[in-house]
Chains A and B, each alone.
Chain A
Amino acid sequence: MSDDATHAELATAPVLEIRGLKVTTHASPAKPILEGIDFSIAPGETLCLVGESGSGKSVTSLAVMGLLPKGSLTVTGGRIALEGDALLDTSPRRLRELRASRMAMIFQEPMTALNPLMRVGEQIEEVLVMHRKGLSSAQRRERVLEMLDQVQLPDIERVYASWPHQLSGGQRQRIMIAMALVLEPKLLIADEPTTALDVTTQKQILKLIKQLQERHGTSVLFITHDMGVVADIADRVCVMRHGAVVETQPIAALLRRPQTDYTRQLLTAVPSLRPRAAREVTDREVVLEAIELEKRYGQTSRWARLSGRASAQTLAASEVNFALTRGRTLGIVGESGSGKSTVARCVMRMIEPTAGGVRVMGKDIASLGRAALRPHRKRIQMIFQDPFRSLNPRLTIGASLIEGPVNYGTPRGEALARAAELLALVGLPKDALARYPHQFSGGQRQRIAIARALAMEPDVLVADEAVSALDVSVQAQVLALLDDIQRRLGVAVLFITHDLRVAAQICDEVMVMQQGVVVEYGPASRVLGAPEHPYTRSLMLAAPGRHWDFSQFRPLEHVLEEAPTSASDAVVHP
């Protein structure tokens, strides 16, 4: 977080200047995507471009790089200047020369952004091969190794010769950063570079970008939807909506005194890291219970035994115990590989636990066979992460909603009537029954997914990252809906999430998992309010924007600090 707004206002010739940028689709009639974007970035400055999906922030960055998808989007007006060079008028050849040498870009998905069939060292070196023709191969190699060192990768000789699939997500993003900065460009465009990473990795990558930025004096155009990240790294913020700039302000001013209603809404929708108080216990009936649940992968294969190799077993989850009572929400939080989804799948019996029990309404289903399991399936239903892929695109919403009940013997007409009621419950019009998934937005689809789960009249809903793919404002609506449904129907929710803010707002109890093991389990107010385990603490410390109370437009007091002793008196000003 920058602690002075003046630093950004040091007026010098901007590195990037965009005036009146207009982009439309290629279709006829052309649909406007960007409607006159204006902003500029000063040398060494970090400008955050924020906005929800469809706001045009990624299109803006691609337009700067000259990478708009050919045949679907075109620039129809305006000016983009990189250190005074008008980019829209340059030849494709010159634009290619400018890429990587004066402006570079890193992307959201480090898992797919690297060519899987090329060693990572070679991929960085390729930039030098294309742009620094005079260098010998020894010089190139030396430069690449130096860059790998700068992005703080361990054992750089080995990394140089690694294939992308041998590296973790964070390491791959470091490779992307090394590739982007190897020619010391003036401008780095980072399009959601940490969105796909775990919070602790995100924190490291953000820090690395900051360090390299200071070292090389690079300007950064940082695209993100995450207000927490914005609060941590931005000098200035440019808020976009529906292809237009809503407001541009230095970070401190924006967080304290947003000028527009839209920015205000955006900030208010950010869930607070402060856990809400647990609801009163009204019903003590345990609906879902896990007892010493364990899932091991990679049983010793016959081949491994024959060849005398040690069996490579992974303990995806072990000794997981919890009890969920009617009407409550239990959150399982953790990073990727923590085993939280494994637990959800075991509980659903989508995979078989290798040991332990799962009791649904008191009945152990952990080892039931296919047929014996059937009557219990409807008691526990799941809501998935990506509403764009969890609904069958060839089925109408009605058909999707009644499929489950009809399988369990409900007459069609009755099921349809119930489906219509459910749609009303999740806040969708009745005529949605006859429509198809592609006619709905992400938030609406997730409402449909919730209605589909409820159609089975389950006792437990398992929500696996059910709001992670949604924009904050939509996320807030869906969370409110879940809360409302829970109050009305008394269904219990097992909520799997990596997002501590969401967990703090929706859960009564929280269970923190790390590498298959439960490290902390208790009321949300205690686990997230005063974490005891070092891992929970490190997660809380890595949460972006944790110093800021977004919905109140002010810094948080009494923030958990790195040194536990100073926790009580630390007040941090942005």
Chain B
Amino acid sequence: MFSYCLRRTLAAVPVMVVVALFVFLLLRLSPGDPAAIIAGDMATPAQLDRIRETLGLNQPIYLQFFHWAGELLRGDFGTSLMSNLPVTQLMAQRLEPTVSLALLSIVLSVVVAVPMGVIAAWKHGSLIDNAVMSVSVLGFSVPVFVIGYLLIKIFAIDLGWLPVQGFKRISEAGFVPFIRHAILPALMLSTIYIALIARMTRASMLDVLGEDFVRTAHAKGASERRVLFKHALRNAGVPILEVIGTGFALMITGVVVTESVFNIPGLGRLTVDAILSRDYPVIQGLILVTSGVYVLINLAIDLSYALLDPRIRYQ
């Protein structure tokens, strides 16, 4: 088990190195002078020189990389070209809204979708099954922003139960204001994942319910509930976890629309702003951080497989 974890963790290191190299080359290998790209069309020669200096573009490329990577390891992602603030500081400010929103959404999705999928598989072919499947098709096909505006219309404007927009940090305002502001965006963000996870749970459970050991469990005289949750669900778990993990990783980067609709100052908004203004250091920092999150989530999924399935543990 320990060796499995160690191997998986070590395997994440080269992935991050490749990502870092890619991010570094992104700017250096684009056609033309990186300084000119960064500065834009209206830059004066003095500005260009200043940019070259700050980026160390006068040095050989491998020295530039080692220098840059060394800075990264010390936690220095450079300085934003627009705001002149350190990139780390910019991202840190935006991290909490995005991560707390994503976490809330994924918890919501799992709590709703997994039982839905289990029941649909158990009552395979019945009215309940069809209802679950129809809801999930709806979840897939209605555009996210439509769901967002509908939610705002119903719960914020018509009923007036919840605020229309904005965000309250759990670290500053406490849990209740956070939830009041976050629940609608979380619902909006969850719809597609509820659909996805419910479908995957159903499909995976259907596979497992046809397995021999499920028949064995019935032959032992186990109750339906015991067969479903103790024997089948755990065995159906790996693909479900896979979807949850990928879903979570996608959420981190996929919150742009939600953050725009609800005017939340998160990473998604920062990304859009940075791209529109060609703020390369910020873009680089964002790519590195989101890739890092991806890698970490994948690592977490791999390790949870091992917890779930002894056959993986002993490989």
Residues of A within 8 A of B (CB): 65, 67, 71, 96-101, 104-105, 107, 109, 112-118, 126-127, 130-131, 163, 165-166, 176, 179, 303
Contact = CB atoms under 8 A, between A and B. Distances in A.
Interface string B194-225: 00000000000000000111011111111100
Contact of A96 (B212, B216, B221): B221
Interface in B1-44: 7
Interface residues of B, number: 24
Contact of A176 (B125, B216, B314): B216
Interface stretch (B61-69, B113-121, B305-313): B305-313
16 contacts: A67-B215, A71-B125, A96-B221, A99-B219, A99-B220, A100-B219, A107-B215, A112-B213, A113-B212, A113-B213, A115-B216, A115-B217, A130-B220, A130-B222, A165-B310, A165-B314
Nearest to A107: B212
A114 B213 CA distance: 5
A99 to B, nearest CB: 4
Nearest to A110: B212
B235 interface: yes
Given A130-B222, A131-B221, A115 B311 contact: no
A117 B216 contact: no
Contacts of B308: 117
Contacts of A107: 212, 215-216
Nearest to B219: A105
B220 A113 contact: no
Which 6 interchain pairs have the tightest Cβ spacing? A99-B221, A112-B212, A115-B213, A163-B310, A96-B221, A113-B212
Contacts of A67: 215, 218-219
Interface in B122-156: 124-125
A163 B311 contact: yes
B231 A115 contact: yes
Contacts of A97: 221
B180 interface: no
Contacts of A303: 7
Contacts of B310: 116-117, 163, 165
Interface string B221-236: 1110010000100110
B216 A100 contact: no
Given A71-B125, A96-B223, A117-B234, A112 B218 contact: no
A220 to B, nearest CB: 15
Scoring A67, A100, A118, A179 by chain B CB atoms within 10 A of each residue's CB, the highest score goes to A118
A65 B216 contact: no
Contacts of B213: 112-116
Nearest to A112: B212
Scoring B215, B219, B226, B308 by chain A CB atoms within 10 A of each residue's CB, the highest score goes to B219
Contacts of A99: 218-221
A256 B231 CA distance: 47
A363 to B, nearest CB: 40
Interface string B289-308: 00000000000000000001
Given A71-B125, A112-B212, A117 B217 contact: no
Contacts of A118: 231
Nearest to A98: B221
Nearest to B222: A130
Interface in B258-315: 308-311, 314
A104 B212 contact: no
A180 to B, nearest CB: 8
A91 B222 CA distance: 14
Given A97-B221, A107-B215, A130-B220, 14 more contacts: A71-B125, A96-B221, A96-B222, A96-B223, A107-B212, A112-B213, A114-B216, A115-B231, A117-B234, A126-B222, A127-B221, A130-B221, A165-B310, A179-B216
